[in-house]
């Protein structure tokens, strides 16, 4: 439905009726800046700012460091915006997380730190905020073997605890959404920039009891890899959207952001791979075009 260039691994935050999207600006391939766009309909996007910039926000960024999968959080207690991302170095050897914060959504963002959270090697990542404000950083840990579910501190700037889950399953690109009290996670296998089968798992407890992985979508996730799941709460229905990256289309700078409806019905979850659809943001209803 929506194809944006140079905005990969995107993270989203809804403020009032405006969606803010941050992502990797892959214009120069391996050293993305992080751009922010805003939209009220997820179709028309306004460029807001380059919120993290090579050589500007951090001297090593653009040289020995690069960012992947930036995700945006708002902390109600500190009234700060916080970015967690994959903070990487040569040959993915650093395996760290980067944390930035700002008083205003469009920045300026200050570098808080880059480190292996709780000393755990961490790569592909995402964030999730629960109804009670508890935030989690979920990342592929220990040389891509497991998923680490890190509970964040009250100010969202530190990892407090890590639960090692999906042990030995080699999952990456995790994206979590909560629907009627149940957490659903989409994730992929680790195949570089090549797409692979997306898998679904669910649980009623964020840190325990996740179901066996089961396939969802076609064998290459419709040529995408999960980046985020959005919840659109309308007056008539709540619609969920799958946001994925179509990497190397045909090269890294031209990777695309692809959005599909994600339907939950009778305990089942399905990606609806429509070429075009529209959403009524008031009612939450969507239809194929």
Question: Residues 244 to 283: which contact ligand DGJ by CB under 6 A?
Answer: none
- Nearest to ligand DGJ of 31, 108 (CB atom): 31
User: Within 13 Å and on the Cβ side, how many CA atoms surround 107?
Assistant: 18
Least distance in angstroms from the C-beta of 124 to ligand DGJ: 5
Shortest Å, Cβ 93 to ligand DGJ: 13
Cβ at position 150, least distance to ligand DGJ in Å: 18
3-state secondary structure of 153: coil
Closest CB 228 distance from ligand DGJ, rounded Å: 13
Instruction: State the Cα–Cα distance between residues 144 and 141, nearest whole angstrom.
Output: 5
- 173 lines the binding site for ligand DGJ (CB under 6 A): yes
Cα-trace Rg, the chain: 17
- Give the alpha-carbon dihedral of 241, 246, 247, 248, to 10 degrees: -160
Q: Applying CB under 6 A, does 69 fall inside the site for ligand DGJ?
A: yes
Of the candidate residues 7, 35, 38, 225, the single one contacting ligand DGJ (CB under 6 A):
225
Interacting positions 185-204 with ligand DGJ (CB under 6 A): 192-193
The distance of closest approach from Cβ of residue 32 to ligand DGJ in the complex, given in angstroms and rounded to an integer, is: 10
Residue with the shortest CB distance to ligand DGJ: 192
The contacts of residue 191 (CB under 8 Å, 6+ apart) are none
Site for ligand DGJ in 128-157 (CB under 6 A): none
124 contacts ligand DGJ (rule: CB under 6 A): yes
Sheet of strand 18-25, all strands in order from the earlier edge strand to the far edge: 8-15, 18-25, 33-39, 46-52
By rule CB under 6 A, what count of residues binds ligand DGJ? 9
Q: What does the per-residue mask of binding to ligand DGJ show for 7-26, with x meaning CB under 6 A?
A: --x-----------------
Nearer to ligand DGJ, 144 or 239 (CB): 144
Any contact of residue 68 with ligand DGJ (CB under 6 A)?
yes
Q: Which is nearer to ligand DGJ, 53 or 68 (CB)?
A: 68
Give 138 or 173: the residue with its C-beta nearer to ligand DGJ. 173
Token pair, residue 211, equals 């179901």
Question: Which residues, in sequence order, are CB contacts of 251 under 8 Å at separation 6+?
Answer: 29
Q: How far is the CB of 78 from ligand DGJ (least distance, A)?
A: 28
Residue 12 neighbours by CB under 8 Å, 6+ apart: 19, 20, 21, 22, 72, 228, 230, 243
Alpha carbon distance 103, 111 (integer Å): 13
Q: 201: which 2 tokens?
A: 């798992």
Sheet with 238-246, side-by-side order of all strands: 225-233, 238-246, 256-265, 268-271
Q: Which is nearer to ligand DGJ, 107 or 174 (CB)?
A: 174
Q: Which residues of the chain form contacts with ligand DGJ (CB under 6 A)?
A: 9, 68-69, 124, 172-173, 192-193, 225
């Amino acid at each position: 439905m929506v194809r944006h260039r140079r905005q990969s691994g995107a993270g989203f935050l809804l403020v009032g009726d405006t969606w803010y999207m941050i992502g990797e600006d892959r214009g120069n391939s391996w050293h993305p800046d992080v751009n922010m766009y805003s939209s009220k309909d997820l179709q028309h996007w306004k460029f807001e700012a380059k919120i993290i910039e090579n050589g500007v926000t951090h001297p090593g960024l653009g040289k020995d460091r690069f960012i992947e999968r930036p995700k945006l959080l708002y902390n109600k207690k500190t009234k700060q915006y916080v970015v967690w991302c994959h903070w990487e170095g040569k040959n993915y050897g650093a395996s760290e997380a980067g944390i930035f914060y700002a008083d205003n959504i469009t920045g300026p963002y200050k570098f808080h730190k880059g480190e292996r959270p709780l000393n755990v090697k961490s790569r592909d990542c995402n964030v999730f905020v629960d109804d009670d404000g508890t935030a989690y950083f979920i990342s592929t840990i220990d040389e891509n073997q497991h998923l680490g579910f890190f509970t964040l501190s009250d100010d969202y700037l530190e990892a407090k605890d890590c639960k090692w889950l999906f042990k030995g399953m080699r999952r990456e690109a995790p994206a979590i959404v909560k629907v009627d009290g149940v957490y659903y996670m989409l994730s992929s296998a680790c195949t570089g920039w090549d797409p692979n089968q997306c898998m679904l798992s669910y649980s009623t407890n964020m840190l325990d009891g996740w179901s066996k992985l089961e396939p969802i979508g076609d064998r290459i996730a419709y040529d995408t890899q999960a980046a985020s799941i959005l919840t659109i709460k309308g007056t008539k229905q709540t619609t969920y959207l799958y946001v994925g990256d179509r990497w190397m289309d045909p090269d890294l700078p031209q990777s695309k952001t692809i959005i599909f409806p994600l339907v939950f019905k009778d305990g089942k979850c399905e990606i609806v791979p429509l070429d075009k659809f529209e959403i009524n943001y008031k009612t939450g209803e969507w239809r194929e075009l």
